[in-house]
Amino acid sequence: MNFLKRISKEFTGLKTIVLSLVLLNLISIASLYSSLHQQGQFVGGDFFSKQLTWIAFSWIVFIIFNFINYRLYYNLSFIIYTLSIILIGAVYFTGHEAMGAQRWLSIGGFSFQPSELSKLAIIIVMARFFSHPPANNFLKDFFLPFSFVGLSAFIIFSQPDLGTAIMVILIAFAIGLFSKVNKKYFVWVLIAVLIAAPFSWTFLKSYQKKRLTAFVNPNIDPLGSGYTIIQSKIAIGSGQVFGKGFLAGTQNQFNFLPERHTDFIFTVIAEEWGFLGSLFLLFIYWLIIKKIFDRLKKIRDPFAYYLTVGIGIYFFLHVFINIGMTLGIFPVVGLPLLFVSYGGSHLISSFILLGIFFNISRNYK
């Protein structure tokens, strides 16, 4: 009993998050199970058992990261960054096997998407840069940190994975806006990028142009992405207030929705659990993000502070953009729903980030 009490004390103010996580896991399992059905038949193969393995594995990772002192990432920040570059580079060079889709590295039977790791690395590197007072010098304050971001984003973009590349830039930019760096730099750079974009084509070498002409352009659907969005809207809308019930979503069950177990998992939830279910899910997300930002007022270390800001922003952007995408607010880019979509890479990196946050929290109770 003493032991339990100690644990409980250790996690003051964090129990809500743990509870929310368990709920999200359950929602994920249920909606995945449903999305793998077609006309009452289970068609998922080993997807389901794989995801259960991922979830179990993520919890182990989560617990381990709870016990790693977050200051370690300060010291290791550039090593972590370099590792992330090597891994995404490795995919670029060795991942050729998958023909045009080079995002995965395969370890054992499971494949891993190293671009997820680079989001993590960027948060850590940004937190390190911004934890020192700015020098009021464009090169030191802005150019240096963002050249790290640029390199990561560029390699991820050429894999090609536009969604993650944009995400990396958005996260870094958001942390940057929150830092003490002079905000006018951000405005300058935005303007410069807008002006420079059309000219960059002329600087490419002939073979680069050749490569670009042969570059496989990912288009989303034979009848345009409109089809996916219309089907997604019908699924969500027809869920009405209370939803159609578990395994009863017709849009889902009749295979109308592509990618419904990964990026479009939200449509399955909204169709089967209705507005109330969606509201509940959003509430859980909001709760987690709020708890993360609430902790900021207790933190007394700038590095921990910006790490926490980065983690909160990462969670927020993933939820907002993914759900916004299924609702047709944002264009369809490949992006999973936080803690819920099928897939191991994003699950593990989200759990790692949360593990880091828990460690910070226990240092600043």
Partner 1 sequence: MLFNPKSFFSKNQSSVKLLKRVVLISFSLLLLVLFNYQITKGSYYLRRAQNNYVRVIPLYSLRGSIFDRNGVVLAKDMASFNLAVFPYQIKNKKDSLFKKISQDLGLDQKIIYKNYKKNLRGFFSPTNIVTNISKKKALHLKEAYPKSLSINPTPQRKYLRPLETAHILGYVKKASSLKKQLKKYGYKPLERIGIYGIEQYYDSYLKGKNGGDLIEVDAAGNVVGFLGRKRAYRGKDIYLTIDSRAQEIAKKSLNKRKGTIIFLDSNSGEIITLYSSPSFDPNLFIKGKDLGSIYKNKASPLINRATQSTFPVGSLIKPLLAIAGLQENKIKPTTTFNCKGHLVLGSNRFKCWGTHGVQDLYQALAHSCNIYFYKLGLIIGPKKISSWAKKFGLDSKTFIDLPYEKKGFVPSPQWKKDKFNQSWYAGDTLNLSIGQGYLHTTPLAITLAINSIANQGYLVEPILLKEVEDAEASLAFRRTLNIAGENLKIVKKGLRKTVNQSSGTARILKNLSLEISGKTGTAQTSGRSHGWFVGFFPYKQPKYTISVFLENGGSSHQALRIAYSFLDKLKRNNIIK
Residues 6+ apart with CB under 8 A from 306: 126, 127, 130, 131, 175, 178, 179
Specify the residue, 61 or 230, whose C-beta has the smaller distance to partner 1: 230
Query: What CA–CA distance (Å, rounded) separates 31 from 320?
Result: 19
Q: What gap in Å lies between CA 291 and CA 16, rounded to an integer?
A: 8
Residue selected from 72, 82, 86, 96 as contacting partner 1 according to rule CB under 8 A: 96
Q: Which is nearer to partner 1, 188 or 215 (CB)?
A: 215
Asked if 240 touches partner 1 (CB under 8 A), the answer is: yes
Assess 131 for contact with partner 1 (CB under 8 A). Answer: yes
Nearer to partner 1, 170 or 220 (CB): 220
Contact window for partner 1 (CB under 8 A) among 16-24, 61-69, 139-147, 235-243 = 235-243
Contact set for partner 1, span 142-201 (CB under 8 A): 178, 180
Does 206 engage in binding with partner 1 (CB under 8 A)? yes
Nearer to partner 1, 78 or 283 (CB): 283
CA 22 to each of CA 18, 56, 135, 288, 351: distance values in angstroms, whole numbers, following the listed order: 6, 11, 44, 12, 12
Backbone phi, then psi, for 159, in 5-degree steps? -70, -35
Please identify, using beta-carbon distances, which residue of 143 and 254 lies nearer to partner 1.
254
Select the residue interacting with partner 1 from 62, 256, 314, 358 (CB under 8 A).
256
Residues 21 to 40 in contact with partner 1, rule: CB under 8 A? 38-39
* Site for partner 1 contains 82 (CB under 8 A): no
Q: Choose one: 69-77, 144-152, 209-217, 347-355; the region binding partner 1 (CB under 8 A).
A: 209-217
- Please report whether residue 236 would count as binding partner 1 according to CB under 8 A: yes
Amino acid letter, 38: Q
Give the Cα separation of 344 and 334 in Å (integer). 15
Closest CA to 288 of 259, 308, 260, 261: 308
Distance of CA 267 to the CA centre of its chain: 18
Could you tell me if 356 and 308 are in contact, meaning their C-beta atoms sit under 8 angstroms apart? no
Q: What is the DSSP string of 256-318?
A: -STTTTTTTHHHHHHHHHHHHHHHHHHHHHHHHHHHHHHGGGT---HHHHHHHHHHHHHHHHH
- Is residue 202 at the binding interface for partner 1, with CB under 8 A as the rule? no
Residue 163, Cβ density class (10 Å: 0-12 exposed, 13-18 middle, ≥19 buried): buried
- Given a contact cutoff of 8 angstroms between Cβ atoms, the answer to whether 305 and 131 are in contact is yes
Regarding 323 and contact with partner 1 (CB under 8 A), the answer is yes
DSSP secondary structure code for residue 363 in this structure: H
**Interacting stretch for partner 1, rule CB under 8 A, among 13-21, 83-91, 125-133, 183-191?**
125-133
∠ CA 96-153-147, rounded to 5°? 130
- What is the tally of helices (H) and strands (E) in the chain? 15, 4
One residue of 83, 182, 296, 363 binding partner 1 per CB under 8 A: 296
- Asked if 365 interacts with partner 1 (CB under 8 A), we say no
Q: Is 210 in the site for partner 1 (CB under 8 A)?
A: yes
Instruction: Report 275-294 residues binding partner 1 (CB under 8 A).
Output: 275, 278-279, 282, 285-286, 289-290, 293
Rule CB under 8 A: say whether 329 interacts with partner 1: yes
Residue 309 touches partner 1, criterion: CB under 8 A: yes
| 78 forms part of the interface with partner 1 (CB under 8 A) | no
299 belongs to the binding site for partner 1 (CB under 8 A): yes
- Residues 122/82, Cβ–Cβ less than 8 Å: no
Could you tell me how many residues of this chain bind partner 1 (CB under 8 A)?
A: 74
234 interacts with partner 1 by CB under 8 A:
yes
> How far apart are CB 57 and partner 1 at their closest, in Å?
20
By the rule CB under 8 A, 239 interacts with partner 1 = yes
- Could you say whether residue 341 binds partner 1 (CB under 8 A)? no
